Amino acid sequence: MSAPAVVIGAGVNELVAAHMLARSDRKVLVIAERRNSSTEIGWVPPRIVRDLELEKHGLAIHRHDPWVATPLPAGGSLELWRDMARSVEAIRRVNPRDAEKWPAFCERMARLARLFEKLYLAPPPDPLSIGFAFRVRALGRHGIEDLLRLLPMSVADLLDDWFESDSLKAVLGAAGIMHHHQGPRGGGTAFRLLHHCVGNPAGVFRPPASNIGRVLAQLPGVGVRGAAEVARINVREGRVAGVVLSSGEEIAASLVLSGADPRRTLLGLVDPGWFDPAFVRAVRNIRCRGVVARVTLTLDRAPGFATLVVAPSLDYLERAYDDAKYGQVSRRPYLEARSNERQVQVYMQYAPYALADGAWDETRRIALGDSVLQMLSEHVPGLRELVTERSVLSPPELEALEGWPEGQAHHAELALDQALWMRPIPGWARYRTPIKGLYLCGAATHPGGGVAGAPGYNCAREVLRDLRRRSKP
């Protein structure tokens, strides 16, 4: 068997990469630094399902219907369904003109998303390559114009072009700002809405949930070292030589794939002296500003919804962001609550990682949890009485427990200047690093969060391609 490979982390991206390498007859050891959730949010690409035979091992994808609901100011809620006709009818009760436009808007977004679906299951494209040009040209003249106009737009401008209903625009606009340090009127947020269309049928703008993390963790073929943490990546003569655990144990390896964020991997685990100063500066400047706190509620019974969004209007979302711009927790935040049987995870935005008036402490966390529960109870009658347990994680705690730098779930903000061939930094977007044998496979690499396992899958394929090149005489 060939020389061993070490994969740092046991999330979906890392486990996909590990199993892809193991299937090429390599010995692989996964260092499971943190506990990972067994329920994952994100499109699971069919190619990964097929190549790793995940369905045979029990993969279950939960496509909730309705896929989102949002309370209406006058009472009741707007529910959007996987069935186009059913969504049109729901929107018609709110605004008949918006209902007429809904199918055309969904088809337009789906058509553009199909281009990105192809781009996401491959290394980042070279914008000057013939292959990339042909893929874009396949959109046709109007499609190209549509794409070039949409990408730099704010999601608010995009939706204002199409719709009138505040509730409909807000529930869509929220997808353009989730885990992002911008409001809906920020440039480039329309791209983030398009990103969430990838892999979904027309008319669905939220990714499904699945048990892919649990399935990957149970797949045979790779070794897993639990309750361990990597303290250092060893480098000799410009090539990776292995890792050193916090216990002092050294593990030799000719390949190391890191799912940790680039800052930690390249400036923390590796001696930055191996890198050019310009490279170090670029890595340090990767934006990863966390703005989300997570409140987990355990209930006596299921709450009666799958995904509930509290976002009355685009102006409401922009005002929520105004607080965060100045280092304050939003007084009236955006909430996205996702239920899984008797557990509800509420993502509260905006909660800045760095506060202007002090640090996160127990008092602030309790106050945030109280505020979130109060807001959610306004729209889910009797919710407060159902809660048997509650936990609140601020951005610094998400950093410590989940490995999210500054509490940023995507490890690097998913913005136009940090996407595709510029993710995580220009010139180093194809999973390789200046250290031979050291690769990045985490959420900060192409295509980013929301596409379960794609960064790890693409990274492993690049590793195997490099190994084949080296083996040729």
Tens-level pLDDT at each residue, the chain (473 residues): 455 899 999 999 999 999 999 999 899 999 998 755 455 788 999 999 999 999 999 999 999 999 999 999 988 999 999 999 999 999 999 999 999 999 999 999 999 999 999 999 999 988 878 778 778 888 888 888 888 999 999 999 999 999 999 999 999 999 999 999 999 999 999 999 999 999 999 999 998 999 999 999 999 999 999 889 999 999 999 999 999 999 999 999 999 999 999 999 999 999 999 999 999 999 999 999 999 999 999 999 999 899 999 999 999 999 999 999 999 999 999 999 999 889 999 999 999 999 999 999 999 999 999 999 999 999 999 999 999 999 999 999 999 999 999 999 999 999 999 999 999 999 999 999 999 999 999 999 999 988 999 999 999 999 999 999 887 76
Contacts of 361 (CB under 8 A, 6+ apart): none
Question: Does one domain contain both 96 and 131?
Answer: yes
Separation between Cα atoms, residue 470 and residue 462, nearest integer Å: 12
Separation between Cα atoms, residue 181 and residue 176, nearest integer Å: 11
- Residue 166's alpha-carbon distances to 70, 320, 406, in angstroms, are 11, 16, 32
Residue 455 resides in a domain? yes
Choose one of 139, 173, 207: the last residue of a domain: 207
The separation between CA 105 and the C-alpha centre of its own chain, rounded to angstroms, equals 24
Separation between Cα atoms, residue 406 and residue 169, nearest integer Å: 29
Choose one of 390, 407, 424: the last residue of a domain: 407
Question: Does one domain contain both 57 and 87?
Answer: no
pLDDT of residue 38: 52
Question: Does one domain contain both 369 and 313?
Answer: yes
Contacts of 471 (CB under 8 A, 6+ apart): none
pLDDT of residue 113: 94
Question: Does one domain contain both 361 and 433?
Answer: no
Question: Amino acid identity, residue 251?
Answer: I
Separation between Cα atoms, residue 174 and residue 419, nearest integer Å: 19
Question: Does one domain contain both 325 and 266?
Answer: no
Question: Does one domain contain both 267 and 304?
Answer: no
Q: Could you write out the three-class secondary structure of the chain?
A: CEEEEEEECCCHHHHHHHHHHHCCCEEEEEEECCCCCCCEECECCHHHHHHCCCHHHCCCEECCCCCEEEECCCCCEEEECCCHHHHHHHHHCCCHHHHHHHHHHHHHHHHHHHHHHHHHCCCCCCCCCHHHHHHHHCCHHHHHHHHHHHCCCCHHHHHHHHCCCHHHHHHHHHHHCCCCCCCCCCCCHHHHHHHCCCCCCCCCCCCCEECHHHHHHHCCCCEEEECCCEEEEEEECCEEEEEEECCCCEEECCEEEECCCHHHHHHHHCCHHHCCHHHHHHHHCCCCCCCEEEEEEEECCCCCCCEEEECCCHHHHHHHHHHHHCCCCCCCCEEEEEEECCEEEEEEECCCCCECCECCCHHHHHHHHHHHHHHHHCCCCCHHHHEEEEEEECHHHHHHHHCCHHHCCCCCCCCHHHCHHHCCCCCCCCCECCCECEEECCCCCCCCCCECCHHHHHHHHHHHHHHHHHHCC
Question: Does one domain contain both 41 and 115?
Answer: no
Give the residues across from 62 on adjacent strands.
209
Sign of torsion over alpha carbons 9, 13, 17, 22 = positive
Separation between Cα atoms, residue 393 and residue 293, nearest integer Å: 6
Identify which of 155, 169, 206, 171 has the alpha carbon closest to the alpha carbon of residue 334: 171
Sort strands 26-32 and 2-8 into parallel, antiparallel or unpaired: parallel
pLDDT of residue 37: 47
Question: Does one domain contain both 365 and 256?
Answer: no
Residue 72 resides in a domain? no
Question: Does one domain contain both 203 and 216?
Answer: no
* Domain tally, the chain: 3
Residue 73 resides in a domain? no
pTM: 0.94
Residue 197 resides in a domain? yes
Cis check for the bond before 447: say yes or no (omega within 30 of 0): yes
Residue 54 resides in a domain? yes
Identify which of 92, 43, 94 has the alpha carbon closest to the alpha carbon of residue 70: 94
- Residue 456 belongs to what domain range? 2-61+211-287+411-471
Identify which of 454, 408, 465 has the alpha carbon closest to the alpha carbon of residue 46: 454
Residue 19 resides in a domain? yes
Residue 165 resides in a domain? yes
Within 13 A of 12's CA, how many CA atoms are on the CB side?
A: 30
Identify which of 12, 68, 20 has the alpha carbon closest to the alpha carbon of residue 40: 12
Give the residues across from 306 on adjacent strands.
none
Choose one of 190, 207, 224: the last residue of a domain: 207
Contacts of 245 (CB under 8 A, 6+ apart): 31, 228, 229, 230, 231, 251
Separation between Cα atoms, residue 212 and residue 152, nearest integer Å: 33
Residue 281 resides in a domain? yes
Question: Does one domain contain both 442 and 460?
Answer: yes
Written as six digits, the tokens of 100 are 């007429």
Question: Does one domain contain both 141 and 203?
Answer: yes
Question: Does one domain contain both 241 and 354?
Answer: no
pLDDT of residue 35: 56
